[in-house]
Amino acid sequence: MHCERWNPALWPEILRHLEVADPGEHAKTVRFYYPDDKGQEFYLKVYNRSYSWGTIKDLFRKSKALRALKQGEALCEAGFHVPLAVVAGEERNSRVLGNSFFLTMGVKGLPLSFFLQTHYSEARSRGAVRKKREYVRQLASEIRRLHELGFVHGDLTPFNILVQADGGKALFFLMDNDRTRRYPSWLPQFFWKRNLVQLNRFLLPGISLQDRMRFLCFYLGRRPEGKERDRRLIRWLEVKTRKRIREWDSKEPQLSFRRLMRWNGSFDRSG
């Protein structure tokens, strides 16, 4: 609990949402305002209890809610932007984990996908294109720093990155950090590549194949086609991206990667 952000009057509101939470495998996020519709925006994420093997594992680990709190604090200490945590809690009975919850304050920003749709879904001026490329550079640099410090986000999609933009400067907020992990810098690991696939697999308005290559250049800190190792990474990323697309659409057309990743007015493959 963060005492400076916590208000005891929030507890009845939290309990109200916990009592009506639907049982199921997936967590549910509820937005509410306190003390009224013009008050502070909050997001309450409720994690339902695990079953079968998950119940056994939960005997020896913290709940997703407490893990989200811990990882958010670690990210914040490392200089990354995350939603401000208010409180996290869990139910346990003889060490058996029940439901848990994580309450954060709202962030004034747009998910990366909708930010691009709002500002770059149509042809723009040269100035707007330059600004978009600068945002691509800033995001790539932020993700590179994330991985250099050993962090791997659990689900780094364009919907889990919120953007606050002011002129040529953008702030990127990392959301849903309950599955984020931090590995020791001395430990070789390749989970960071999973984050690149998670980001790359979505159709995005205003983002061309050249923009994706620019992102990779900035992420690597060099032109990736210059070394065989980087060319292998590009080929691997295309293969993995196509594989993820086939999981959504078994009738994936055999198009060039440029055409396959071209925005078609939708965030999914159905158009």
- Residues listed for the chain: 271
Q: For residues 17-36, give the mean pLDDT.
A: 80
Confidence of residue 150 (pLDDT cuts 50, 70, 90): very high
* Average pLDDT for 39-68: 82
Q: What is the mean pLDDT of residues 143-165?
A: 95
Q: What is the mean pLDDT of residues 76-81?
A: 97
Residue 225 pLDDT exceeds 80? no
pLDDT of residue 214: 92
pTM: 0.87
83, 175 in Cβ contact below 8 A?
A: yes
Please determine, for residue 1, whether its predicted confidence score (pLDDT) is greater than 70: no
The pLDDT of residue 54 is above 70: no
Domains and CATH numbers, the chain: 8-105 (3.30.200), 130-260 (1.10.510)
Distances (CA, A) of 133 to 61, 129, 172, 243, 245: 42, 6, 15, 27, 25
Q: What pLDDT is recorded for position 268? A: 62
More confident residue, 224 or 162: 162
Residue pair 237/200 in contact (Cβ under 8 Å)? The answer is: yes
Instruction: Report pLDDT for 224.
Output: 61
Nearest 5 degrees, angle CA 113-CA 140-CA 164?
Answer: 50
Mean pLDDT for the stretch of residues 40-49: 89
Cα–Cα distance, 207 to 136 (Å, whole number): 10
Q: Which amino acid is at 84?
A: L
What mean pLDDT is predicted for residues 98-119?
92
CA angle 255-249-263, nearest 5°? 55
Judged against a pLDDT cut of 80, whether residue 50 lies above it is answered with no
**Cα 14 from Cα 5, distance rounded (Å):** 15
Average pLDDT of the residues in 34-50 = 87
Most confident range, picked from 31-35, 51-55, 58-62, 262-266: 31-35
Compare 178 and 268 and report the one with higher pLDDT: 178
Alpha carbons 192 and 251: distance in angstroms, whole number: 29
With a CB cutoff of 8 Å and minimum separation 6, the contacts of 47 are 27, 63, 64, 65, 99, 100, 101, 102, 178
CB under 8 Å to 115, separation ≥6 — which residues? Answer: 109, 163, 165
Cβ-contact 70, 62 below 8 angstroms: yes
Per-residue pLDDT of 232-262, as tens digits, reads 888 999 999 888 877 776 666 677 777 777 7
Distance CA 35, CA 41 (A): 9
Continuous segment of H or E residues that includes residue 263: none
- 107 or 21, greater pLDDT: 107
Tokens of 147: 């991985």
Instruction: Tell me if 133 sits within 8 A of 214, measured CB to CB.
Output: yes
How many whole angstroms separate alpha carbon 151 and alpha carbon 143? 9
Is the per-residue pLDDT at 271 higher than 60?
Answer: no
Query: What pLDDT was estimated at residue 7?
Result: 82
DSSP three-state, residue 102 = strand
Quick: pLDDT tens for 166-205: 877 999 999 999 999 999 877 878 899 999 999 998 989 9
Euclidean distance between CA atoms 163 and 179, whole angstroms: 21
* Residue with the larger pLDDT of the pair 153 and 227: 153
